[in-house]
Chain A
Amino acid sequence: MGTKATRKDFYMEIRRSLGRFLSIFFIVALGVAFFSGIRSSEPDMRATGDAYFDGADLMDIKTVSTLGITADDIRAIGNVDGVEKVEGGYSADFLCQGEDREIAVHIMSMLPSMNKVTVTEGRLPQKPGECLTDDEMHYKVGDKIKLKAGDGKKVTDTLTTDTLTVVGTGNTPCYISFSRGNTTIGTGALSGFFVVADSTFDMDVYTEAYVQAEGAKELTAYTDAYEDRVKEIQDNIEAITGERGQIRRQELTADAEEELDKAKKELDDGKKEAEEELSEAEQTLKDGEEQLADAREQISDGRAQLEKARATLNSKQKELDNAKAEYASGKQQIEDGEAAYVQGMADFGAQKAAFDKQKAEAESKFAQQKEQLDQLNHLCNRMAADVAQKKAQLSTLEVTIDNLNQQISGMNPADPQLPDLQDQLQKAEADRDDLRDNILPAALAELQGYQTQYEQSKKAYDAAKDEADSRLAAGQQELDAGAAKLSATKTKLDSSGAELASAWNRIQDGQTQIDNGWTELEKQEDTLDKAEAELAASEKELADGRKEYEEAKSEADQKIADGEQKIADAEEEIGKIKNPKWYVYDRSTLTEYTGYGDNADRMRAIGKVFPVLFFLVAALISLTSMTRMVEEQRTEIGTMKALGYHKLTIASKYLGYALLATLGGSIFGVLFGEKVLPYIIIYAYGIMYHHIPDILTPYNMTYAAAATLAALACTIGATLAACYKELSAQPAVLMRPPAPKNGKRVFMERVTFIWKRLSFTWKSTVRNLMRYKKRFFMTVFGIGGCMALMLVGFGIKDSVFAISELQYSQIQVYDGMAYLEEDISDEKQQNTAEFMGRDTDVEQYTEVNMRNITLVNGSRERDAYECVPKSVEDIGSFIHFRDRRSHDKYELTDEGAIISEKTAKLLDAKAGDTIYVKDEEEGNHPVKIASICENYMGHYIYMTPGLYEDVYGERAAYNCYFFKAEDSSKSALEKTGQKILRQDGVLSISYLRDIQKQLDDMLKSLNLVIVVLIVSAGMLAFVVLFNLNNINITERQRELATIKVLGFYDPEVAAYVYRENVILTFIGAGVGMVMGRLLHLFIIRTVEVDAAMFGRNINFPSYVYSLLFTVAFSAFVNWVMYFKLKRIDMVESLKSIE
């Protein structure tokens, strides 16, 4: 490339603009990675599946015949052209007890080399009776499983034993997912498989033959090449089946006749022998019966005697008991008397004490009174003495006076002694007067008073004493009488006690006699009981013997009858033996095998649209970057041109730049994308197909090359175009600054009232947006694209996850279905219906006819469930018929059927059309479609019983109940279900909750895929925004520098730029929402499987999340840009325009 200088310039360019180089590199890398990665997922899924199938030597073709396949057949198939290997195998379906209910299992024999089983735990079965169970089942090594045949035959007709021992668990390539397929027994669905050694099967012929096609192993499964190859060999095998069938029939007929003869003879022999044995047994029984009758008579005699003895004993006992009662009552009387006596004694004691106390009290009182009386008497006496003394004094005085008087009278009056004597006389007369007149009468009065008092008291005392004495005497008399009575009582009591004691002795004697009598009686009775027990045992023996005899007899009869029947049947069978029917299947007969391919196809559908848009955005951005780069370097191009460099040399710098960035990015993208994305996606599907061990992600060169070439074409083309434009100009023109772009008035300026209010920066922003139209659309498309991708990611999640919720809480709102046995009797059906109506756990139920039918419209066919409710009124509360968009309700009428939306779409039928129910025997039945209802899972056609009769000409037979439980929590529902299942005639129960869970599980695998989409879209959004912002800032560096020189602060400068970014982000997001919505609709339609219809909705939060992500990325990029803005050198403003 050119000169040394240009080379150097080239490297310097990359170094200088490393940001741009890397952003192109990564945008291209992302685009290519996503495009090639998602696209590769589909072939990688196939390759992964194929590697697993090849590794396990999975069969290509399976052949079954209605009469089994003989070793000769196997040899014949082996000789067919194109058959590489053929192996015969056995299989049969049985019932066994599962965790909580009876389940149906598929038992298959191990093949010598094909369909290799992977052992997870334990080992492969080797001996008969050993088995390896399905990983998905709950059995553990060492468990014993008892099998039951589902069709009334015996397990041992098919197997050597009916009990299998688990020796290991594992998985087989025949079942790659959870579903185990269908059967004709039990609930109709298989719950798992058991693998056994072929010696466990006890069959003359193989049930199926497995074939590997020549050259098929080298081809990848699910590809047309593989399928064509297998089809060819399938046809080859089909060609020999007619001949093989004839041979098989002849063989069977010959064998059967020979056996029939043998059986007839055996039957006759058997009959004779049985009769002899039976008559002998009869005789023995009769003898035994006679002996027993004798024994029975003897025992009954003994019993009668015993009865008599017992009666005597009983009457004696009764007498004794009477005596005992009398004794007891006598004893009681004595005891009562004694108690009364004791009480009397006590009373007497108390009386006596009281009397004594009274007496003492009275005596002491009288003594006291007596004393007082004596004192009074004494006082009287003393007074009398006093009075006497006074009287004596008086007389003394009288004497004195008389003496004196005498003296005086005797004396002359002049005697000197006279006055003295007169004085003495006077004084004595005064004393005498005093004594006589005062003192003496007072003393006399006093004495008289005391004497009166004494006399009164004495009289009172005497009266009281007399009364008390008489009372005490009466009391004493009473006491004496009481004591006498008590002693008489005591004497009587003692004599009664002696009498009683003698009576007791007599009673004791009588009791002893009676007891002895009883003991004797019991002894007799024991003997009799023993004899009786012996008799009973003998009787039982005899009865057993009789029963045995009856059984043997009926058995013998039955056997004979059976034998006769069998012979008759066999004779009929032999007549009926037809040529066997052969079926030759490819791998699609394996459960879920096709589903895996469908998932790969779905991935292809996603890969068709999503990565293209992704890639488009990436290409557009790198294209813009390159164009910008060339335009920016206009002066340099001019200079180079002026210097005389060749156009190509000049252009080669830019082409080289683009080539290096794009090629580098592409290679990186392919290396990363084709490894990581398919791995994640297949890993996600691994949740469903978890036995596929290794994920293969080979490089798919076609996609790698396509993506790389497209990326190169975009960038190189853009660079070339830009270079061509610049290079065609004259160097002088190039070196002059480009004419500044014209400022233009925008529409908004005409709306003056808004425009006037805008600041200049806003005006500038608005004009800028309008002026750089290219950048405007670029950014809007870039951001819009990313927003759309994220929205689609979220939207797919919404739509896919919406269906289980919509289907099972808004459309099919019942809790479960109970299927009835086929050919159920009317009585049983009546009973179950009564039970459903009666059971309080069942809130509501309705009878329906559920049937699998095939609908036909023109050349299109579709399997669907035909659902005919017995009560058209009730069905509305189990299934909501409505239009998906308008939610208008539909009624089921006799006018026509209601058909589910997806079914109608696949059949290309509209409301009002007439479609047909396929019937190969009687011809198709036409049905008119009345309306099309919202439905997401499965295909349904609903009819009224009336319409059913019109269509089929017969009445519908109801084989199923829809029911709603009163309590629909998981445990309560299962309890209710089990109760229903216990009803005679109910075949199986299925819960909508379980179906919903299965669906949710299945859809979960899409979750990771969606995360991949969202993350990738987010990354792209980031790179795109970064790049666009980068361009924006670089382009306007000079303008920004000028603004800085004018004195704008950093945040003001940033705001100047950000305003545009913010507006562009929001416009882009708005556009993205519209784009995303459309893209989502398209993708959902492509991704959908036939069995389900996904929602068409994107939930509001998804819009919000996508917007938030976009805004967040934008904000982050702008934040990073802030530093770039800060670094803009103001000196830039001084530079000339480039």
Chain B
Amino acid sequence: MSGFVTLDGVRKVYHMGEVEIVAADGIDFQIEKGEFAVVVGPSGAGKTTVLNILGGMDTATEGSVEVDGAFISQYSQKQLTAYRRDDIGFVFQFYNLIPNLTALENVELALQICRDPMDAEEVLVDVGLGERLSNFPAQLSGGEQQRVSIARALAKNPKLLLCDEPTGALDYNTGKSILKLLQDTCREKGMTVILITHNQAITPMADRVIKIKNGRVSRMIENNNPVSVDSIEW
């Protein structure tokens, strides 16, 4: 019952005036260290809530969240900020780069507050952007921007890489190459990656698939033979 990441009975209730909206209604799952996990589900199922809670951007109303032995569900706001700083790498759907910093500077921006960073330039070379270090986000394509975003997340050397629909704003091929980059990172560096998507088609590439529906985990599949991204089509 104790994986690297463990969610136990996580509930999240929003109050909108007199209306109660249950975004998560008792979610339980575990993910092991070094796994490539995909959280999949339709819009409004509670994926983003899970991501927010895991990423320390929001707190659960009920239930416990354990990451690498720490119960982050009990963290204060300040502890959560430190947690985001040191333990979490976040890849956004819309990259969220600072527009007037270059690719390199965007990565360095994240690194300057981090405890144990990697070399920014190296990481950018690793994600295949060795040539575009000093380009501004506006001068990069969507895929390249997302690579910068991934590099920014990886360079912090996080315990957990959280990806929120990383291919959502990208075309098919670019999306695929980004997924490949994430999969390779997971395989080569032993990074635990949690990817949130509504795209059922990419589940075969994952070590673990968590399906969420109506605020609950409807099914959890452990995939012993994940396939390479290249062989998936959608």
Q: Which residues of A contact B (CB under 8 A)?
A: 737, 739-744, 759-761, 763-764, 767-768, 771, 1038-1039, 1042-1050, 1052, 1130-1131, 1133-1137
* Interface SS majority for chain A: helix
Which residues of A have CB within 8 Å of B113? 1046-1048, 1052
Q: Which residues of B contact A760 (CB under 8 A)?
A: 101, 105, 108-109, 112
Between A and B, 29 residue pairs with Cβ closer than 8 Å are A739-B138, A742-B136, A742-B138, A743-B99, A743-B136, A743-B137, A744-B136, A760-B109, A767-B101, A771-B100, A1038-B96, A1039-B96, A1045-B55, A1045-B57, A1045-B84, A1045-B96, A1046-B84, A1046-B85, A1046-B90, A1046-B113, A1047-B86, A1047-B88, A1047-B113, A1047-B114, A1052-B113, A1130-B52, A1131-B58, A1133-B92, A1136-B93
Quick check: B100 and A1046 within 8 Å, CB to CB?
no
Give bound CA distance, A744 to B57, whole Å: 32
B48 and A1134 contacting across the interface, CB-CB below 8 Å: yes
Q: Say yes or no: A1049-B138 contact (C-beta < 8 A), given A759-B112, A1136-B93.
A: no
Residues of B within 8 A of A771 (CB): 100
B200 within 8 A of A: no
Cβ distance A907 to chain B, nearest Cβ, rounded Å: 60
Give per-residue flags for B55-86: 1 if the beta carbon is below 8 A from chain A beta carbons, else 0: 10110000000000000000000100111111
B4 an interface residue at 8 Å Cβ cutoff? no
Q: Are A743 and B81 in contact (CB under 8 A)?
A: no
Q: How far is the CB of A261 from chain B (nearest CB, A)?
A: 112
Q: Which partner residue on chain B sits nearest A743 by CB separation?
A: B136
Establish whether residues A1046 and B110, one from each chain, have CB atoms under 8 Å apart when the complex forms. yes
Q: State A1137–B110 Cα separation when bound (angstroms).
A: 21
Known contacts A740-B137, A1131-B52, A1133-B96; A1049 and B81 CB within 8 A of each other: yes
Contact B99 A740 (CB under 8 A): yes
* B138 touches which of A740, A763, A1045 (Cβ 8 Å): A740
Bound CA span A64–B105, Å: 90
Q: How far is the CB of B207 from chain A (nearest CB, A)?
A: 25
Count of chain B residues with a beta carbon within 8 Å of a chain A beta carbon: 37
User: B29-59, CB under 8 A of A: which get 1 and which 0?
Assistant: 0000000000000000000100010010110
Q: Which of B177-210 contact A (CB under 8 A)?
A: none
Known A739-B138, A760-B105, A1046-B113; contact A767-B84, beta-carbon cutoff 8 A: no
Whether B55 pairs with A768 at a CB distance below 8 angstroms is no
B6 at the interface (CB under 8 A from A): no
Closest to A769 in B: B100
A771 to B99, CA, bound (A): 10
CB pair B101–A1134 under 8 Å, yes or no, is no
A1048 to chain B, nearest CB (A): 6
- When the two chains form their complex, are residues A1134 and B93 in contact, meaning their CB atoms are under 8 A apart? yes
A741 to B100, CA, bound (A): 8
Q: Are A1136 and B94 in contact (CB under 8 A)?
A: yes
A764 CA / B139 CA spacing, docked (Å): 17
Known: A743-B101, A1137-B94. 16 other contacts (CB 8 A): A742-B136, A743-B139, A760-B105, A1039-B98, A1042-B92, A1042-B98, A1043-B98, A1045-B55, A1045-B90, A1046-B84, A1047-B81, A1048-B81, A1048-B113, A1131-B48, A1134-B92, A1135-B94
- Contact between chains at B100 and A768 (CB < 8 Å): yes
Q: Which residues does chain B contribute within 8 Å of A768, judged by CB atoms?
A: 100
**B-side contacts of A740, CB under 8 Å:** 99, 137-138
Does B144 have its Cβ within 8 Å of any Cβ on chain A?
no
Q: Find out whether the CB atom of A1131 lies under 8 angstroms from the CB atom of B57.
A: yes
Q: Which of chain A's residues have a CB closer than 8 A to the CB of B164?
A: 1134
Please judge, given known A-B contacts A1046-B113, A1047-B85, whether A764 and B93 are in contact too, CB under 8 Å.
no
CA–CA, A760 and B110, complex, Å: 10
Q: Is the CB of A1042 within 8 A of B138?
A: no
- How many angstroms between the C-alpha atoms of A1049 and B105 in the bound complex? 19
Tell me the complex Cα distance, A1130–B164, Å.
13
Cα(A1052)–Cα(B110), bound, Å: 12
Mark B111-135 against chain A: 1 for CB-CB distance below 8 A, else 0: 0111000000000000000000000
Chain B nearest CB from A741 CB (Å) reads 6
A771-B100, A1045-B57, A1133-B96 in contact; A743/B138 too (CB < 8 A)?
yes
In the A-B complex, the 5 residue pairs with the closest CB atoms: A1047-B85, A743-B136, A1047-B84, A767-B100, A743-B100
Q: How far is it, in angstroms, between the C-alpha of A1046 and the C-alpha of B112 when the chains are bound?
A: 11
Q: Is the pair B90, A764 in contact by a Cβ cutoff of 8 Å?
A: no
A277 to chain B, nearest CB (A): 121
Q: In the complex, which residues of chain A have a beta carbon less than 8 angstroms from the beta carbon of B94?
A: 737, 1135-1137
User: In angstroms, how far is the closest chain B Cβ from the Cβ of A1134?
Assistant: 6
Residues of B contacting A1047 in the complex (Cβ-Cβ under 8 angstroms)? 81-86, 88, 113-114
Complex: chain A residue closest to B48, CB-CB: A1134
Contacts of B52 in A (CB 8 A): 1130-1131
**Smallest beta-carbon distance B197→chain A, Å:** 14
Complex Cα spacing A450 to B136, Å: 166
> Which A residues are in CB contact (< 8 Å) with B83?
1047
Q: Which residues of A contact B58 (CB under 8 A)?
A: 1130-1131
CA distance A737 to B100 in the complex (A): 17
Complex Cα spacing A452 to B217, Å: 174
Contacts of B55 in A (CB 8 A): 1045
| Partner among B109, B152, B169 whose Cβ is within 8 Å of the Cβ of A761 | B109
Q: A1130 — nearest CB in chain B belongs to which residue?
A: B57
Q: Closest Cβ of chain B: how far from A758's Cβ, in Å?
A: 10
